């Protein structure tokens, strides 16, 4: 089981209906996490038989290569590397070595100490020196290859911070300050990554460009998506994917969030230099360097939805995947969620049990000094919005980052239900005070409804589950 505080969440103080909803919801969350474990995704996507490498519908003859190099970074790449290595050891005779960057605190229980893949633990979401040094070593490893070598690039979300290699004259401290400003601004991950791609020597397709210019080695990139829409160029800022964005767009995003005059001078000068010299733009889809790269999306949150839907149906719920595109400010979406639930109750008025599923990634504009995360802030906003309402149904809402860690808290998310709402009202907890200070994690810890797993090794979009049970036909929760 991934959830470490299940006993706390399944309190004996809950009535039978509330307890049952929590059991079902938490089991669905367990199944969702398990479905997108990187080891499973690799095993489903890759087969090696008699030195034939099969990825989806493509076949590669490993006899055509002298050696394999495995590089990459992200929250899911440790398990990805382990599973790939197992396949290489069991089914092929080709030599390999590698290096990947993964988040600090990630437990890698199954990684064999005899592994030929070196692991560097680095910080996320703010890059640190370990990540920078690991990326430099990675590039040195593949710098002198030949066209007879094969590179596996393992990519998942988090790679933007973990694969730090800034352009000339930009320091690590400059990157750290920029990332802190961006993460607090409320900018979307797509917007943030447009800026990151234009400040990096490997993101925005620059990794492919470097390999093509030095050796023309083939690259197979295995990618797990953590972005809405599964846009490959945005996952870890797309080191192996063409970049059709521009320096001008990066500058305009900084202007839109009133950050252009706040960023370090070296970063501003680098962006302005690229804006004035179009030859400095990242390689786009017309660049011949991408002839030697094969990008495969092997996993996304949709797999988790496919896994839990039959389970919820077997529990008697009418299941509706209401959105795969949850975006925007967390506290604004909390109001939208209430409207979605109300609309669906009207649509499914003949059903006694309804399960609504949503996926995506919200943002938080940081105004306070509290501890929280986007899913927790959304749920806190939801409770604040409905606290004066007359609730007519039994309900449970779980919102979680399947990675296991959300924001700067130790929680993956939280759950709210009738019991949480009643305790909040009974204890006269001031929800607005917590919202104003972006302090949602302390709020849910006080109500013992934060969900704790620790890092799961997964990396896909966030997960939202709403369970509603009610005998009456009142069309509001």
Domain ranges of the chain: 6-36+301-469, 38-165+200-245+282-299
Phi, psi of 317 (to 5 degrees): -95, 145
What is the per-residue pLDDT for 473?
45
Rg of the chain taking only CA atoms, in angstroms: 23
| 7 contact partners, CB below 8 Å, separation of at least 6 | none
The rounded distance, in Å, linking the Cα atoms of 168 and 166 is 7
* Common-topology check for domains 6-36+301-469 and 38-165+200-245+282-299: no
Place of tokens 């986007």: 374
Per-residue pLDDT tens for 93-109?
899 999 999 998 777 76
The pairing of beta strand 462-469 with beta strand 394-400: antiparallel
Strand (E) or helix (H) holding 45:
helix 38-45
Q: How many CB atoms lie within 10 A of CB 217?
A: 20
β-strand partners of 223:
155, 297
Entry pTM: 0.88
Strand (E) or helix (H) holding 219:
strand 218-224
Give the residues of the chain that fall short of pLDDT 50.
Answer: 113, 472-473
Per-residue pLDDT tens for 183-203?
889 898 899 999 999 999 999
Report residue 101 as tokens. 């960057």
- Crossing angle of the two packed helices 38-45 and 77-91, in degrees rounded to 10: 40
Compute the Cα dihedral for 178, 179, 182, 184 and give only its sign. negative
> What's the CATH number for 6-36+301-469?
3.40.1480.10
> What's the CATH number for 38-165+200-245+282-299?
3.40.50.10180
What is the per-residue pLDDT for 391?
80
The alpha-helical segments, DSSP class H, found in 277-417 are 301-314, 330-347, 374-386
What is the per-residue pLDDT for 471?
58
């Amino acid at each position: 089981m991934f959830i470490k505080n299940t006993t706390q969440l399944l309190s004996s103080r809950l009535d039978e209906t509330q307890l049952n909803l929590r059991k079902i919801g938490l089991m669905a969350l367990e199944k969702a996490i398990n479905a997108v474990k990187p080891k499973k995704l690799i095993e489903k996507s890759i087969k090696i038989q008699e030195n034939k490498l099969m990825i989806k519908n493509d076949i590669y003859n490993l006899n055509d290569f002298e050696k394999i190099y495995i590089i990459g970074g992200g929250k899911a790449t440790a398990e990805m590397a382990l599973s790939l290595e197992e396949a290489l050891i069991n089914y092929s005779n080709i030599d390999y070595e590698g290096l990947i960057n993964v988040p600090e605190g990630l437990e890698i229980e199954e990684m064999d100490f005899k592994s030929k893949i070196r692991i560097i633990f680095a910080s996320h979401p703010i890059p640190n020196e370990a990540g920078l040094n690991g990326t430099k070593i990675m590039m040195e490893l593949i710098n002198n290859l030949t066209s007879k070598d094969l590179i596996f690039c393992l990519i998942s979300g988090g790679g933007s911070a973990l694969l730090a290699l800034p352009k000339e004259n930009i320091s690590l401290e400059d990157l750290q300050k920029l990332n802190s400003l961006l993460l607090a601004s409320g900018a979307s991950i797509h917007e943030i990554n447009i800026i990151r791609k234009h400040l990096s020597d490997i993101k925005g397709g620059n990794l492919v460009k470097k390999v093509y210019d030095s050796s023309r080695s083939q690259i197979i990139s295995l990618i797990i998506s953590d972005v809405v829409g599964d846009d490959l160029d945005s996952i870890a800022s797309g080191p192996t994917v063409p970049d059709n964005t521009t320096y001008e767009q990066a500058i305009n995003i900084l202007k839109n969030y009133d950050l252009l005059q706040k960023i370090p001078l070296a970063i501003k000068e680098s962006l302005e230099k690229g804006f004035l010299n179009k030859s400095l733009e990242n390689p786009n889809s017309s660049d011949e360097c991408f002839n030697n790269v094969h990008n495969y999306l092997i996993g996304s949150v949709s797999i988790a939805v496919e896994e839990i839907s039959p389970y919820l149906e077997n529990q008697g719920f009418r299941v509706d995947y209401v959105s795969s595109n949850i975006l925007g400010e967390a506290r604004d979406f909390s109001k939208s969620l209430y409207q979605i639930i109300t609309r669906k109750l009207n649509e499914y008025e003949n059903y006694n049990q309804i399960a609504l599923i949503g996926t995506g990634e919200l943002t938080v504009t940081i105004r306070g000094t509290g501890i929280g995360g986007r899913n927790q802030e959304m749920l806190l906003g939801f409770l604040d919005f409905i606290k004066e309402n007359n609730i007519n149904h039994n309900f449970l809402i779980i919102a979680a980052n399947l990675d296991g860690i959300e924001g700067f808290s130790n929680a993956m998310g939280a759950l709210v239900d009738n019991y949480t709402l009643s305790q909040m009202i009974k204890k006269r907890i001031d929800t607005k005070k917590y919202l104003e200070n972006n302090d949602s994690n302390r709020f849910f810890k006080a109500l013992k409804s934060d969900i704790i797993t620790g890092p799961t090794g997964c990396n896909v979009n966030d997960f939202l589950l709403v369970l509603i049970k009610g005998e009456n036909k009142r069309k509001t929760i």
